[in-house]
Amino acid sequence: MPGFFNVQPPDEALQTLLGQLDYRVGPEYVPASAALGRVLRDDVSATEDLPTFARSTMDGYSVRSADTFGATEGMPAFMEVVGAVPMGTAPTVSLSPGEAATAFTGGMLAGNADAVVMVENTQVVGDSSIEILRPVAPGENVAQPGEDVSAGDAILLSGHVVRPQDIGGLLALGMTKIRVARRPRVAIVSTGDELVPPGETPGPGRIRDINSYTISALVEHAGGVPERFGLIRDDLALQQEAAQKGLAESDMLIFSAGSSVSSRDLTAEVIGSLGSPGILTHGISFKPGKPTIVALVDGKPVFGLPGNPVSAAVVFDMLIRPAIYWIAGCAEPPSLPTVTAILASDIPSLSGRQDVVQVRLERKGDNLMAEPVFGGSGLIFTLVQADGAIMVPLDRGGMYAGEQVLVRLY
Amino acid sequence: MPGFFNVQPPDEALQTLLGQLDYRVGPEYVPASAALGRVLRDDVSATEDLPTFARSTMDGYSVRSADTFGATEGMPAFMEVVGAVPMGTAPTVSLSPGEAATAFTGGMLAGNADAVVMVENTQVVGDSSIEILRPVAPGENVAQPGEDVSAGDAILLSGHVVRPQDIGGLLALGMTKIRVARRPRVAIVSTGDELVPPGETPGPGRIRDINSYTISALVEHAGGVPERFGLIRDDLALQQEAAQKGLAESDMLIFSAGSSVSSRDLTAEVIGSLGSPGILTHGISFKPGKPTIVALVDGKPVFGLPGNPVSAAVVFDMLIRPAIYWIAGCAEPPSLPTVTAILASDIPSLSGRQDVVQVRLERKGDNLMAEPVFGGSGLIFTLVQADGAIMVPLDRGGMYAGEQVLVRLY
């Protein structure tokens, strides 16, 4: 099965896959406090009003607002302080006309009070009396019940990726357990006669397997659980066995091909033999990453990644990261960090193909400069030296020094 | 100890702290494959050349380049194919003039060969003979030993945060264990008479503690290990005890104050009593987050965070995240994701103070609009509803609808 067929731009390849990808990992319950980065599997609505009580937003005095009308510094309203409502307690005092009670930020108001006067707008004039120097409107300096959120309000939707503040919102409502997607299990099969495990010293013509480890780290970073299913030599039966096992025991299979064309052809043959509908895209019109395979087997996504490490990392970002989030139930993965910079040198490109070019960032005076790091896509240190990458669009014959570029940061 | 003293802008407060913060967490050895996000504690140099052997970068034939000089489609160079060098093996053939050997991408060259002709530039003319249609220069289509990296090259510096490709680079060199900073342990003490644990139903005037959990998630996200040292009521002796224990057993202490001014004053008193040099900054000139305390006690950083959840999260990003990376040995924390958007409504502000304003993002046609989410900083759902935040600079009296803004995404 040599050569490429059904070559697509990366966006189209992703849409082709997602359009047919109904598979979702199952749900599980986790403590909300440990849910950072997990994908919600329920729409969540508020179960109660927050705050649950009218809460002072200032330190000062709770009052009947009508008693303060017309108060000025020149003609303050005189009030008797009949008590206090300490933090975390219900009021034991109730106000009659002309009375006030000490209030704390976050605390309750005295009975009959409907507003709070900031301490800065008062003056102590005796053991238990104050002057109020500015009027307050009803509700002033008070957070009303339900002002933060009302019972029944939709607060988070299924598919949302939980952030620190969401944990706060959930716990504020007493939701200590939530239903999220199980972390997608991603099987990684590394292939190629030239590979040895990284702990070994390679013999002549051999290199250490690094792709299965960089891919594992990328999977982890995308919220998945990487599982390595071996380092398999270029043998059809052995590779089929590893692929079938990996696919059966996981939610997604990533097949990392060897670097030779024959190894890539073998990868295509193995993936093509796994089941239906099989290969959707074989060949992606961008550099580096052309020899990528996207397939769907028994409902699960299968990827054949080019053997060279730069391509593998770039293709991962474009296709596999979104697919991991997708099967967890999230259609919009969290954004990756970017920065705007000025291109330091020209980049030649081929029109009709997207290029991803690695760059190093350097601050020169007020400008952040992006210097392209060229180098064969088989060279891992091209990526190690890079601070990020820029995309040369499909319809551009290249890019010129001085242009503003968006750098996807590593 | 009421009121604020030594009020600083956030950047200045951070620099004041870091300028005096020599404390670093200790190192530990971890497998390189499990080092994602960890801070390197050694400068790392390449221990060998990569590739270790002259490696073909194409599928084709290894040749003596001199034999191909002058070859054209009209007058090809005729060559005898005397063997192949399979992937992962040393060559068993050596070329005499007029001879070629099959070569694979990533494989070795035959003995005496100094270049590779791409298969696309050849034509099979017999069982073991080919025509070469284009000449190759010495070294063409060959990655030379040391081309990716040379023994002795500096590849990663101490303080670098390990990325997926760095794992690849380290393993390519056989460095399976590396020395990184131990994850900083961050003690979190939550205080306030109004707080109950999130699993309980709050009585009148009480609310659930959420800050210690949102702060825990933020610590985790910054590479630290959060450890909660209890929910302490507003009592000087109890708080001092918790703070001392937290500080002794950790690398950093975060004290989350209650929402009332008296609780914040108590926090200041507790932090001020812990040791020297003590409080460096008391009060930060930005909203929300003014009542922040930055201190240094026995060499370790101590933070007093405002009780309201929005302030706590914003201050964390500005001061505590950089400090966690700093004590791990990293001066430049990884970038957080941002996006450029157009401000949808005016934002009033006070000149002379930085404001952080939460925004929701909405796509309108081709534009990404940032709609400010106003709301008291005590309202956690202000943050839950937000997609990010923008900074209104110190010297601006506000910002206007239609302006381009940089949104820090959550």
**Is A149–B199 a contact, with Cβ atoms under 8 angstroms apart?**
no
Is residue B218 situated within a structural domain? Answer: yes
Is residue B256 situated within a structural domain? Answer: yes
Please answer whether residues A235 and A168 qualify as being in contact, where contact means their C-beta atoms are separated by less than 8 angstroms.
Answer: no
Question: Do A321 and A348 sit in the same domain of this protein?
Answer: no
Q: Which residues of B touch A384 (CB under 8 A)?
A: 155-156, 165-166, 168-169
Is residue A83 situated within a structural domain? Answer: yes
Q: Which residues of B touch A258 (CB under 8 A)?
A: 87, 106
Compare CB distances from A176 to B32, B199, B207 and report the shortest one's residue. Answer: B199
Question: Do A249 and A269 sit in the same domain of this protein?
Answer: yes
Q: What is the DSSP string of A333-379?
A: PPPPPEEEEEE-S-EE--TTSEEEEEEEEEEETTEEEEEE----TT-
CA distance A237 to A227: 21
Supply the CATH number for residue B83's domain.
2.170.190.11
Return the amino acid letter for B167. I
Question: Do B42 and B154 sit in the same domain of this protein?
Answer: yes
Q: What is the ipTM of this complex?
A: 0.92
Q: How confident is the model at residue B350 (pLDDT cuts 50, 70, 90)?
A: low
Supply the CATH number for residue B189's domain.
3.40.980.10
The CA distances from residue A169 to A105, B210, B214, B225, B395, in Å, are: 20, 8, 9, 22, 33
A328, A355, A374: which is the final residue of a domain?
Answer: A328
Query: Shortest Cα distance from A352 to chain B (angstroms)?
Result: 21
Supply the CATH number for residue A168's domain.
3.90.105.10
Question: Do A73 and A44 sit in the same domain of this protein?
Answer: no
Question: Do A320 and A349 sit in the same domain of this protein?
Answer: no
Backbone φ and ψ of A282, nearest 5°: -130, 95
Q: What pLDDT sits at residue A377?
A: 64
CA distance A194 to A234: 9
| Percent of chain B with pLDDT strictly greater than 90 | 83
Q: Could you identify the residue written with the tokens 């003995």? A: B111
Residue of A nearest to B386 (CA): A165
- Residue B90 reports pLDDT greater than 70: yes
CA distance A341 to A331: 29
Least confident stretch, A366-370, B5-9, B403-407 = B5-9
Domain span at A393: 338-409
**Is B169–A383 a contact, with Cβ atoms under 8 angstroms apart?**
yes
B94, B119, B143: which is the final residue of a domain?
Answer: B143
- Residue B2 reports pLDDT greater than 50: no
CA distance A18 to A31: 30
Supply the CATH number for residue A360's domain.
2.40.340.10
Q: What pLDDT sits at residue B296?
A: 97
Is residue A216 situated within a structural domain? Answer: yes
Return the amino acid letter for A406. L
Compare CB distances from B167 to A155, A207, A214 and report the shortest one's residue. Answer: A214
B297, B328, B359: which is the final residue of a domain?
Answer: B328
Query: pLDDT, tens digit, for every residue of B302-345?
Result: 999 988 888 888 899 999 999 999 999 999 999 999 999 999 99
Query: pLDDT, tens digit, for every residue of A46-57?
Result: 999 999 999 999
Q: What pLDDT sits at residue A410?
A: 86
Q: Which residues of B touch A217 (CB under 8 A)?
A: 33, 36, 163-164, 167
First to last CA, chain A: 35
Question: Do A205 and A299 sit in the same domain of this protein?
Answer: yes
Tokens of B337: 């994701």
Is residue A4 situated within a structural domain? Answer: no
**Is B53–A205 a contact, with Cβ atoms under 8 angstroms apart?**
yes
Q: Which residues of A touch B50 (CB under 8 A)?
A: 380-381
Q: Which residues of A touch B86 (CB under 8 A)?
A: 193
Query: Shortest Cα distance from B35 to chain A (angstroms)?
Result: 9
CA distance A310 to B379: 45
**Is B106–A143 a contact, with Cβ atoms under 8 angstroms apart?**
no
Is residue A5 situated within a structural domain? Answer: no
Q: Which residues of chain A are modeled with pLDDT < 70?
A: 1-5, 350-352, 377
Q: What pLDDT sits at residue B367?
A: 92
- Residue B12 reports pLDDT greater than 90: yes
Question: Do A277 and A248 sit in the same domain of this protein?
Answer: yes
Is residue B198 situated within a structural domain? Answer: yes
Query: Shortest Cα distance from A185 to chain B (angstroms)?
Result: 17
Question: Do A36 and A65 sit in the same domain of this protein?
Answer: no
Three-state DSSP at A73 gives coil
Nearest CA-CA partner of B408 in B393, B375, B386, B379: B386
Compare CB distances from A204 to B53, B195, B261 and report the shortest one's residue. Answer: B53
CA distance B381 to A149: 7
Nearest CA-CA partner of B256 in B312, B218, B200: B312
Is residue A1 situated within a structural domain? Answer: no
Q: Which residues of A touch B216 (CB under 8 A)?
A: 33
Domain count, chain B: 4
Question: Do B154 and B236 sit in the same domain of this protein?
Answer: no
Question: Do A383 and A294 sit in the same domain of this protein?
Answer: no
Please answer whether residues A231 and A197 qualify as being in contact, where contact means their C-beta atoms are separated by less than 8 angstroms.
Answer: yes
What is the pTM for the complete model shown?
0.93
Question: Do B157 and B201 sit in the same domain of this protein?
Answer: no
Question: Do B130 and B75 sit in the same domain of this protein?
Answer: yes
